[in-house]
Structure formats: structure tokens, C-alpha cells
């Protein structure tokens, strides 16, 4: 690819992932409207979310493997077309079964974006710039939440639930046309030497050789906390009181704002410390303290603020786990494969979280959630610390982590 195209590639990838996220977080934006309009319970909608995350997780494992072997533009175009059709179907779905089927299908196409985009960016980015690129592309996620929960929530507050799905379809159509135009001007051909030759078995062996096996479990607990906060908070806020004149859909924007801060903070931390594992220990320690505050708090406004901080911490760890660490293996042609395994684990945790928390919210309310998050953070700390110790005592092909500039 020509050097002058790297900036345009990043911009197109950023807007693409923003659009992809709009086509998945719109469901959480529509939760409250769906409970009123169609009479679904939190537990029923939790099943829809759990199916999405379970299929998304499996798709990450498969598409991470494929992502090291295909052209970025072709795979992204297929994903954009698929997620557009699934969202279009959701706009007119009348039954819970049809919604579950369509949203599960959306999970397949959504799983095609991240690993392919990160691999494409990593191969066109200098090692010392990868921390900056990791932060930059990750910013698309909280911006998508701001647009979905804030802008669309404001504009569609009195609208039918179908508009939460139709508006992102329009954005998908724009990005499809953008990638078609970009493909005509730039060469996305993947050379043979850049295609990963590793099979799935070799990929798993590689993770063990690099002492990354326990990070898979860390990713699972990370996903349990991160998506648990993101999925249920809009519904939780809509059912709370004590916010005065603040509209609930605007209050939910506190979360993506905290996520933006968390991502930027992760970039600053990566620039000061070469070890991402010690940074993860610090982040999950912060989550433990915040969960302790949630357990002791009774004021709704304070609860929302603490959940937002937990979410921000999760997005800081997300940048490290699912972008920065895999990017360090660019020269080994293993970026998408590692992301696929890590993201698979993350969304296994998310699937468990959405189903389990839906049942808990319906039966016991909010109180048990921070206890579960706290326990997950403790396990994540122990495993991150163990991984750091193992990597510091072995020299079997381990990469050195580049500080960003």
C-alpha cells in the first residue's frame, strides 16, 4: 500500500468501526423502548444479548484466524453488508425469536471487523506508533456510544424502536460506498509473506510459547465486567429515579465519556511503562476500589458515576488487551489470530454476563452486580501478575514491548 494512503486507511477504518459499533450498541439504546412497546422482560432481552455475544465470540475465534489471510477491504465490505441487512431485519422483527435470530446473525458479521482492521493497521504502522494507533482506533467505540445513547437517544426518545436500527443502516450504506471507492484507488493485495501460515493448532501453541495463555482468562473476566456495564446501564438508569431534571438518555452519556478518558489514559500509561501487564494490574486494582464503592453506595447518581468509572477502566484495559499486545506480534504475522482468541474469550465473558445479569437484575436488583465484578477483577489481577512474572523469566522468542511516541 502506498505510504500516502495510511492516513486515509486509518480514517476509513475508524469511521467503519464507529459505524459497526452503532449497529450493535443500538440494541442497548432500544432496550427501554422495547420493554414498553413490545412488552419484553429484562430476562428475555438478556437472552437476545447473550446469543449475540456467544455467536460474536465464536466468530472472533474463526475470523481472527481468517483475518491474517484475507484482504482487509473485501472482508470489511462483506461485514458492512451483513450488519446492514441484520439491522434492517431488526427494524421490522415482531417476535422475540426473530429478533434473537437476526441479532445472532449480526454477531457473525460484527465479529469480522476488529481483528481484520487491526491487522491492516498494524502492517502499515511503525512499531513506535502502534500505541497511538491502538488508542486512536479504540476511540471509535465510546464515540459510537455517545452517538447512540446521546444523539440518537435524544432524537428518538419518542420514536418507535425500529428507528434505533434504521438510522445505523444509513451509516452502513455510506461506509460501503466509501470502501468501494477506496478499493479503486489503493492496492489492498496481501502479499504471500504477510499471510499467516499458522493453523489453529499452531496459533494455540504460539500463545503458550509466548506465555499468553492466562491472558485469555483475563480477557474473559474483562469482557464480563465491560459488557455487563455497557449492556444494562441504559435500562438501569431508565428504571432509577432521583436524577432531578436530567433526562435518562443524556445521563447514560457519562459512560462513553468515561470510556474516552480511559482510552486516552491507557495511551499515556503505555508511553510511561513498557510492560502492559503491570498496567493491567493497576487498572483492575482501580476497578476493585470502585466496586467497593458501589457495594457501599445507595445514592443513584453516585452509583451511575461509579459504574461510569468502572466502564472507563475497562476500556483502558480493552485497548491494551485487544489492540496493543496483539500488535506487538505484527512481524510474526499473528496479529489477527491473537486478537481472535482474546476477543473470543472477552465475549464469552460478555455472553455469560448479559444472560446472568439479566436474571440477577430481575430477581435481586442491582446489588449483586458489583460483587461479581469485584471477584472477576481480583482473578484478573492475579493472572496478569503471573503472566508478567512468567514473561520476565523466559526468553523463548518473547517480543519486547515498544513504547509509543
Domain 5-188+206-393 classified CATH 2.60.40.10? no
Residues lower than pLDDT 70 in the chain: 1-5, 67-68, 153-154, 156-159, 185-200, 242-245, 247-249, 272-274, 394-405
The pLDDT value given to residue 397: 44
CA-to-CA distance for 33 and 194, rounded, in angstroms?
47
Identify the burial level of 312 via C-beta atoms within 10 angstroms of its C-beta, where 0-12 means exposed, 13-18 middle and 19 or more buried. buried
| Pair 106, 224: CB distance under 8 Å | no
Q: Are 95 and 148 in contact (CB under 8 A)?
A: no
pLDDT for position 188 = 61
- Give whole-number Cα distances, 129 to 5, 136, 271, in Å: 16, 11, 10
What confidence score (pLDDT) does residue 404 get?
47
Q: What is the pLDDT of residues 131-172, one digit of tens each?
A: 788 788 888 888 988 888 777 766 766 667 788 899 999 999
Q: Which of 342, 327, 328, 324 is nearest to 65 (CA)?
A: 342
* pLDDT confidence of residue 104: 94
pLDDT value of position 4 = 47
Q: Are 344 and 217 in contact (CB under 8 A)?
A: no
pLDDT, averaged across the chain: 82
What string of H, E and C letters represents the secondary structure of the chain?
CCCCHHHHHHHHHHHHHHHHHHHHHHHHHHHHHHHHHCCCCHHHHHHHHHHHHHHHHHHHHHHHHHHCCCCHHHHHHHHHHHHHHHHHHHHHCCCHHHHHHHHHHHHHHHCCCHHHHHHHHHCCCCHHHHHHHHHHHHCHHHHHHHHHHHHHHHHCCCCCCCHHHHHHHHHHHHHHHHHHHHHHHCCCCCCHHHCCCCCHHHHHHHHHHCCCHHHHHHHHHHHHHHHHHHHHHHHHHHHCCCCCCCCHHHHCCHHHHHHHHHHHHHHHHHHHCCCHHHHHHHHHHHHHHHHHHHHHCCCHHHHHHHHHHHHHHHHHHHHHHHHHHHHCCHHHCCHHHHHHHHHHHHHHHHHHHHHHHHHHHHHHCCCHHHHHHHHHHHHHHHHHHHHHHHHHHCCCCCCCCCCCC
Amino acid at each position: 500500500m502506498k505510504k500516502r494512503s495510511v492516513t486515509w486507511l486509518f480514517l476509513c477504518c475508524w469511521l467503519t468501526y464507529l459505524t459497526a459499533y452503532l449497529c450493535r450498541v443500538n440494541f442497548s439504546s432500544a432496550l427501554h423502548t422495547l420493554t414498553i412497546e413490545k412488552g419484553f422482560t429484562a430476562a428475555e432481552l438478556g437472552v437476545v444479548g447473550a446469543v449475540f455475544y456467544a455467536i460474536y465470540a465464536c466468530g472472533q475465534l474463526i475470523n481472527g484466524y481468517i483475518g491474517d489471510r484475507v484482504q482487509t477491504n473485501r472482508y470489511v465490505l462483506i461485514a458492512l453488508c451483513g450488519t446492514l441487512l441484520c439491522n434492517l431485519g431488526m427494524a421490522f422483527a415482531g417476535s422475540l425469536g426473530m429478533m434473537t435470530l437476526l441479532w445472532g446473525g449480526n454477531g457473525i458479521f460484527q465479529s469480522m471487523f476488529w481483528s481484520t482492521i487491526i491487522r491492516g493497521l498494524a502492517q502499515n504502522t511503525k512499531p513506535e506508533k502502534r500505541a497511538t494507533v491502538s488508542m486512536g482506533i479504540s476511540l471509535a467505540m465510546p464515540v459510537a456510544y455517545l452517538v447512540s445513547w446521546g444523539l440518537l437517544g435524544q432524537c428518538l426518545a419518542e420514536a418507535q424502536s425500529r428507528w434505533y436500527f434504521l438510522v445505523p443502516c444509513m451509516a452502513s450504506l455510506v461506509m460501503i460506498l466509501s470502501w468501494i471507492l477506496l478499493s479503486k484507488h489503493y492496492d489492498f493485495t496481501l502479499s504471500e509473506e504477510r499471510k499467516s501460515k499458522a493453523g489453529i493448532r499452531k496459533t494455540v501453541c504460539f500463545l503458550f510459547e509466548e506465555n499468553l495463555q492466562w491472558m485469555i482468562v483475563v480477557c474473559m473476566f474483562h469482557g464480563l465486567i465491560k459488557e455487563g456495564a455497557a449492556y444494562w446501564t441504559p435500562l438501569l438508569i431508565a428504571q432509577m429515579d432521583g436524577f432531578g431534571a436530567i433526562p435518562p438518555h443524556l445521563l447514560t452519556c457519562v459512560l462513553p465519556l468515561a470510556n474516552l478518558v480511559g482510552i486516552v489514559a491507557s495511551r499515556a500509561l503505555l508511553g510511561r511503562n513498557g510492560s502492559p501487564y503491570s498496567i493491567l494490574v493497576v487498572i483492575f486494582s482501580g476497578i476493585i476500589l470502585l466496586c467497593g464503592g458501589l457495594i457501599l453506595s445507595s445514592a443513584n447518581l453516585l452509583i451511575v458515576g461509579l459504574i461510569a468509572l468502572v466502564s472507563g477502566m475497562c476500556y483502558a484495559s480493552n485497548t491494551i488487551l485487544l489492540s496493543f499486545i496483539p500488535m506487538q506480534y505484527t512481524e510474526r504475522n499473528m496479529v489477527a489470530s491473537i486478537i481472535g482468541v482474546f476477543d473470543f474469550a472477552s465475549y464469552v465473558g460478555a455472553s455469560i454476563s448479559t444472560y446472568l445479569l439479566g436474571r440477577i437484575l430481575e430477581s435481586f436488583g442491582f446489588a449483586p452486580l458489583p460483587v461479581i465484578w469485584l471477584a472477576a477483577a481480583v482473578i484478573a489481577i492475579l493472572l496478569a501478575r503471573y503472566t508478567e512474572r512468567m514473561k520476565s523469566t523466559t526468553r523463548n522468542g518473547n517480543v519486547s514491548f515498544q513504547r509509543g511516541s
